[in-house]
Structure 1
């Protein structure tokens, strides 16, 4: 289990290195326009659509998960290093797309690794959110260090060095992971078409409306994520080096939300918790749209963790409870493809087109989508049960 925890730390350290600064880097260091920034950031969503379903399928078929993770870290780090030595929209987009194709599947594969390990009895009754919280810790570490590096250098080039270092450590850590292979390889029914089974399960009556609501939620979050760093520097007027610190206000508070996740589920149930997260997203985005101040930048980060557990933790647990062993990993991969990837890509591309019309158009659209997601969850009985899960979740 220690190896899996470290895996989450290093995987999210890559995001913590580039995530808070990427739009700034693309604008300042590479000279890209708003639509081009939206396109490049959206490639990470496209990668989620294309790659995870195949990699998690490999896991289901018996390919050692740690080999998949090692290859993803190695290729992703090499592509980032190449991007830092390149210029021009086409080449930057190509290399960042390669990085995203290699790196983004790590999230769904390691989620599948955890759930498979727990099903095999390797982690006892450890709840998912208590392992996922180590990803939050991993996000914080590089962002704090980069404050000093970016301030001293006067540019955001250092973010690439930090991300490549995290990728290298990620390769090394894969040797500490348990040698788990996909359960489908030893299934008594042979090798079922796990991906098709996962798609059928996601389209079932009691799940499909939940999937649509989460798609809207992820589009909304993509609109926020793509231009929030540039909103901090251009609309609020803070220095580039502060972007990571402001992000980390939300990330530090996110730890509390993660640790309280099980208690919140037990108190209000799945559906009400997700609706609460969407309500927080609506309020946050409306404040960003109409009140671009330092106080709002910091204050709205207090609910960032609630939004994250809504879109990145609760759905995985909900779906795992409805997956069979034959397609457990593939169900996470199909969901990541359709909802996380489709939502992020659509949100980023839409953000690139809306950014030129101002903050109200950009963040107001995101607020509307979050509101529609909440309404769908509240008014569609089959969207998500109001049940309270077992305490271990």
Structure 2
């Protein structure tokens, strides 16, 4: 699991380099709020296109580590290219290419973890819980923001430095991908045997799993949450610099306050799962997100903007940690990658497309209204989790520990 932890770390160093500064970078390149919304929405378009394809390849034809290496290489090249271009249409195209390359990374890493965990369990070896591995991503997100704080203090340096930082981290990710484990497949999984043809594509099986009643409720609620969270992620940095009046060099450090809090929640995820379960976690987390958006929308000042980072930890559990674990519970070994990729396409991708476009239009009128819009969406999603969702029995055995009591957290 060491190389998988490193890959999580490196993928989040890319995110930690680019995401906190991207909307500010685009604003400094002369884009309007609605244009920024269009550029950011391409991330959602990419999630609709590439993760489901790469996940199907990882389940049937190619090694996940090979696909990850290719995605990191493409991401690094396009980020380097993005630093050299100007103009709305050129930026739109180049950022779109980066989004296409980087979009499958999260679902491929999740799938690789669950596949590797299933292999270790089959051999009777201990498996570290998902949240213990995923927390290395949290550490990875923190590192570049600390570095960029000191770099961006110099007046001669702008947020282009954050994009270059992301490109360099992608290069290191290519090197680490070589060290990732090779997943062994049974003969019937590697060949077009009659039994495999009768089973159909793993994507079709994953779709059937997502259409189960309570899973469908989960996906609808998460779609609404992604509409809201996309608005937050996309325009919170501009809200800090324009509405609250904080200088750009502080944006990453403010984001890191929430990420530091996230570490505690990540390490405590097993406790939440054992004592609360998925449903209660999603309801409590949704309520915390509603409070966060309400405060940002009605009280735009430095204290609120910084203080609401206290809600970031549980928000990450709801948006980024609980879903892959819940989906893996519903997955058979034949489509562990595909269910993650299909969810990324249907829920995360479409949510980001619509979320960024709508938030961009709202931000042209009022940045504070963006957070009130996010609050309403999260309120509806939380009601769905509270009154229409039940965390039913698992579809199949877990692939690896998930922190919910299915496997003991041990060193791998």
* TM-score clears 0.5: yes
Once the two structures are TM-superposed, the CA of residue 54 in structure 1 deviates from its matched residue by: 0.2
| Distance in 2 separating the partners of 1:386 and 1:190 | 26
* Counterpart position of 2:226: 218
Once the two structures are TM-superposed, the CA of residue 154 in structure 1 deviates from its matched residue by: 4.2
User: Is the partner of 1:20 in helix, strand or coil?
Assistant: helix
In the alignment, structure 1 residue 313 sits paired with structure 2 residue 321: yes
User: Is the partner of 1:51 in helix, strand or coil?
Assistant: helix
Let me know the Cα RMSD of the aligned residues.
1.8
In the alignment, structure 1 residue 250 sits paired with structure 2 residue 258: yes
| Distance in 2 separating the partners of 1:181 and 1:65 | 11
* Counterpart position of 2:118: 119
**CA separation of 1:380/1:42 partners in 2, compared to 1, >3 Å: closer, same or farther?**
same
**CA separation of 1:381/1:170 partners in 2, compared to 1, >3 Å: closer, same or farther?**
closer
Q: Is the 8 A contact 2:17 2:162 kept in 1?
A: yes
* Counterpart position of 1:51: 50
**Stretch moving more, 243-252 or 286-295:** 286-295
* Residue pairs, 1:1-393, within 5 angstroms: 1-28=1-28, 30-121=29-120, 124-152=126-154, 153-180=156-183, 185-186=189-190, 189-190=195-196, 192-382=200-390, 384-385=391-392, 389-390=404-405, 392=407
| Distance in 1 separating the partners of 2:365 and 2:78 | 33
Q: Is the 8 A contact 1:65 1:181 kept in 2?
A: no
Q: Is the 8 A contact 2:221 2:385 kept in 1?
A: yes
Unaligned stretches of 5+ residues in structure 1: none
Deviation readout 1:15-65 (Å, 9 max, x if unpaired): 00011000000001x110111101111111111111000001000113011
| Distance in 1 separating the partners of 2:368 and 2:300 | 10
**Stretch moving more, 178-187 or 198-207:** 178-187
Once the two structures are TM-superposed, the CA of residue 185 in structure 1 deviates from its matched residue by: 2.2
Once the two structures are TM-superposed, the CA of residue 391 in structure 1 deviates from its matched residue by: 5.6
| Distance in 2 separating the partners of 1:362 and 1:381 | 27
| Distance in 2 separating the partners of 1:386 and 1:215 | 22
| Distance in 1 separating the partners of 2:352 and 2:318 | 15
Once the two structures are TM-superposed, the CA of residue 179 in structure 1 deviates from its matched residue by: 1.2
| Distance in 1 separating the partners of 2:44 and 2:110 | 18
Once the two structures are TM-superposed, the CA of residue 361 in structure 1 deviates from its matched residue by: 2.1
| Distance in 2 separating the partners of 1:331 and 1:286 | 33
Paired residues, what number?
391
| Distance in 1 separating the partners of 2:224 and 2:170 | 31
Once the two structures are TM-superposed, the CA of residue 381 in structure 1 deviates from its matched residue by: 4.3
Deviation readout 1:54-109 (Å, 9 max, x if unpaired): 00100011301111111111111111111111111111010100001001101100
**Runs of 4 or more off by more than 4 Å in structure 1?**
181-184, 385-388
Once the two structures are TM-superposed, the CA of residue 348 in structure 1 deviates from its matched residue by: 0.9
Once the two structures are TM-superposed, the CA of residue 378 in structure 1 deviates from its matched residue by: 1.3
Q: Is the 8 A contact 2:142 2:259 kept in 1?
A: yes
| Distance in 1 separating the partners of 2:167 and 2:64 | 21
**CA separation of 1:25/1:125 partners in 2, compared to 1, >3 Å: closer, same or farther?**
same
| Distance in 2 separating the partners of 1:181 and 1:68 | 16
Deviation readout 1:297-356 (Å, 9 max, x if unpaired): 121111111011101111111110111011111001000111111112211111100002
Once the two structures are TM-superposed, the CA of residue 181 in structure 1 deviates from its matched residue by: 5.5
| Distance in 2 separating the partners of 1:150 and 1:43 | 27
Once the two structures are TM-superposed, the CA of residue 182 in structure 1 deviates from its matched residue by: 6.1
Once the two structures are TM-superposed, the CA of residue 206 in structure 1 deviates from its matched residue by: 2.5
| Distance in 2 separating the partners of 1:343 and 1:257 | 25
**Stretch moving more, 176-185 or 198-207:** 176-185
| Distance in 2 separating the partners of 1:211 and 1:95 | 30
Once the two structures are TM-superposed, the CA of residue 124 in structure 1 deviates from its matched residue by: 2.5
